[in-house]
Amino acid sequence: MIVYDGLKSDFLKSCLNDSIAMEIEMNILTKLGRHTPKAEFRSWENSLNYMFKVMNDDDIPDDAGVAIEFNIPQTSKRVDFMISGYGNADEPGMVIVELKQWDALEEVEGTDALVETVVGGGPHKVVHPSYQAWSYAQLIRDFNQEVQDGDIRITPCACLHNYIRGANDPLDSGRYKDYLDEAPAFTKGQLFELRDFIKASIKKGDKKEILYRVDHGRIRPSKSLQNAIGSMLKGNREFVMIDEQKVAYEEILRLSLQCQKDYKKRTIIVKGGPGTGKTVIAVNLLAELTQRDQMVQYVSKNSAPRQVYLKKLKGLIKKSSVDNMFKGSGNYTEVGRNVAHTLLCDEAHRLNEKSGMFHNLGENQIKEIIHAAYCSVFFIDESQRVTMDDIGSVGEIEKWAEEEGSELYYLELGSQFRCNGSDGYLAWLDDVLDIRSTANYDLEGIDYDIRVCDTPGEMRELVVEKNKLSNRARILAGYCWEWLKREQNNTDYHDIKIGDFEISWNLGNGEPFAVSDTSINEAGCIHTSQGLEFDYVGVIMGNDIRYENGHVITDFTKRAKTDQSLKGIKKLYRESPDEAGSRADEIIKNTYRTLLTRGMKGCYIYCTDPGMSQYLKERLRSVKHETAND
């Protein structure tokens, strides 16, 4: 859908009349049913007045098409500015321009596509503008049949019209070279260069014909995309399915393909605890359904699983259109009904009600995902809800599926991978943490290397030694120590200090915590480890969980102030102490349950509370093999 379209001559006239921003505002209200914030309105005025100067050139045909705020079908992404027309050999094409009002940015080390700039009143990590322009162009190429069959060239670029470029500018860092080559970035003082870039592709006008063709193109994944994700998955042992996983995969595949035939909505709830292979199933479905001509995406609220599994798929490949298949759960606030064939929502227990940086967008993420797809698949473990904002539950999914007129299906997975396939370990943890009473008082007969260490240094030594085997051991900690943003990239600053033991929280730059070679020197938290698995983990249990007077107790006042998981709990405590205590207790225990189940082969624990340490040792004493030998 295009919010505004016209000829170049129409666009210039609207700019001269000072009406272009008002026309877009009215079209957004009419077509999308939403009002435009003042800041967005001002950004149109500033950026489009600049584009007026760029387009005011006789060599750019008056009857070239101009589109503003082009909504890429099946997504909530919008291209800022597009010019359509024909080249010298009458080949159809479009130039897309990503407009930015930034006047400064910083390079983010250890990544190939992120920069830091001021957005929404504060500094945030966002994608490089050239990456954004390239990814939008690639999304159109990969999923628009008209572009594929009509050989329509898509030529992207970025325009930062307030940005003064300097020597050795961070915008031009070598880590962004691949994206700058694909989508050049034009800055303040480069108006004529941007004009020349447009004129190189648009020689003849098209009277908006190409815009119309692209806007009405049927959605179909390109052969190159199908081949790319198929080849990435082939032979990748990380994603081999076994037993129940294959059964669930085949059933979801059958139901999704049925939606593709009869256009009925179906919602599938897949319940499974830690180590049941939910993500393995999702990634396999992502590849297979794409090869079946579906528009399908892997969705998660937490960015850590997306980053890690995408990297495991891509390997050494840096730039790939497969990136566009991994999306955050807040991407569907403005997406129409049934615009996607299948959405695979991993870690569905972590879904929120509202979306956006300030949690002010949309209505309900579960509703929006079901609304956006013919087939919505929710992989869920209700015992892993770990923040006040987590609303993911079977009941919530059922409610919105019914409202959206979607048929409901249920699947359940048993433990297979993590903790050596032991449901007994998971049940033991539930009993130990007083989450629920089980018959698993001890770990008798369970082949799992679990130890309670007397010092954090002893725990670290064990994890470091295990990590030498395959870089699959990590130290994790409860969120009881402050995370200082100003020190987030300083490996010499140690956030966590216990006696003479010191360690940094996982750094804010570089590769994802789960795969980086240097992560063994850092401690991960729930937000960087949930949804992921390692061979061995060391877990520091802080003073937010203690053993006192014969009971496991939780204490939300011992959580770090920088932890957003319990945001709002103090206000709730003033209004309803019992409810606040119950919710905090659930979140803290679920957090430690999740951390303690990240290791497939073993878990080494250090407790800051002596009572908790002694209690865990007593619960392990009756195990005949005491500790598994290395």
What DSSP string runs through 138-188?
HHHHHHBHHHHHTT-EEEEEEEETT----TT-GGG-GGGHHHHHHS-EEET
Is 32 a member of any domain?
Answer: yes
Q: Which of 382, 413, 444 is the last residue of a domain?
A: 413
Q: 34: buried, middle or exposed (CB in 10 Å: 19+, 13-18, 0-12)?
A: exposed
The reply to whether 262 and 155 lie within a common domain is no
Q: Which two tokens stand for residue 605?
A: 């624990």
Is 519 a member of any domain?
Answer: yes
Q: Which two tokens stand for residue 184?
A: 């050049």
The reply to whether 187 and 117 lie within a common domain is yes
The reply to whether 366 and 429 lie within a common domain is no
The reply to whether 193 and 240 lie within a common domain is no
| Cα torsion 279, 285, 288, 293: sign | negative
Rounded Cα distance, 162 and 101, in Å: 6
The reply to whether 426 and 406 lie within a common domain is no
The reply to whether 118 and 103 lie within a common domain is yes
Amino acid in position 38 = K
We report the CATH number of the domain holding residue 556 as 3.40.50
Which pairs with CB-CB distance under 8 Å and at least 24 residues apart come from 316-321? 317/232, 318/112, 318/178, 319/134, 319/178, 319/179, 319/182, 320/228, 321/138, 321/139, 321/141, 321/142, 321/224, 321/225, 321/228
Q: What is the pLDDT of residue 244?
A: 85
The reply to whether 142 and 56 lie within a common domain is yes
Q: Tell me which residue range forms the domain holding 37.
A: 2-215
Q: What is the pLDDT of residue 424?
A: 82
Amino acid in position 356 = G
Over residues 41-59, the pLDDT tens digits come to 889 999 999 999 999 999 9
Is 407 a member of any domain?
Answer: yes
The reply to whether 206 and 229 lie within a common domain is no
The reply to whether 384 and 472 lie within a common domain is no
DSSP string, 551-568: EEEE-GGGS-TT--TTTT
The reply to whether 507 and 460 lie within a common domain is yes
Amino acid in position 578 = D
Q: What is the pLDDT of residue 415?
A: 60
Is 628 a member of any domain?
Answer: no
Q: Which of 369, 384, 413 is the last residue of a domain?
A: 413
Q: Which two tokens stand for residue 582?
A: 């119950």
Q: Which of 197, 215, 233 is the last residue of a domain?
A: 215
The reply to whether 375 and 485 lie within a common domain is no
| H-state helical runs in 315-413 | 365-372, 394-403
The reply to whether 238 and 200 lie within a common domain is no
Is 463 a member of any domain?
Answer: yes
Q: Could you tell me the CA-to-CA distances from 211 to 71, 132, 218, 363 in Å, in that order? A: 12, 20, 14, 31
Give the number of domains in the chain.
3
Q: Which of 617, 544, 537 is nearest to 587 (CA)?
A: 544
Q: Which of 96, 85, 89 is nearest to 63 (CA)?
A: 85
| Backbone torsion region of residue 76, taken as left when φ is above 0, otherwise alpha when ψ lies between -120 and 50, otherwise beta | alpha
Is 627 a member of any domain?
Answer: no
Is 629 a member of any domain?
Answer: no
Q: Which residues of the chain have pLDDT under 70?
A: 74, 415-422, 622-630
Is 597 a member of any domain?
Answer: yes
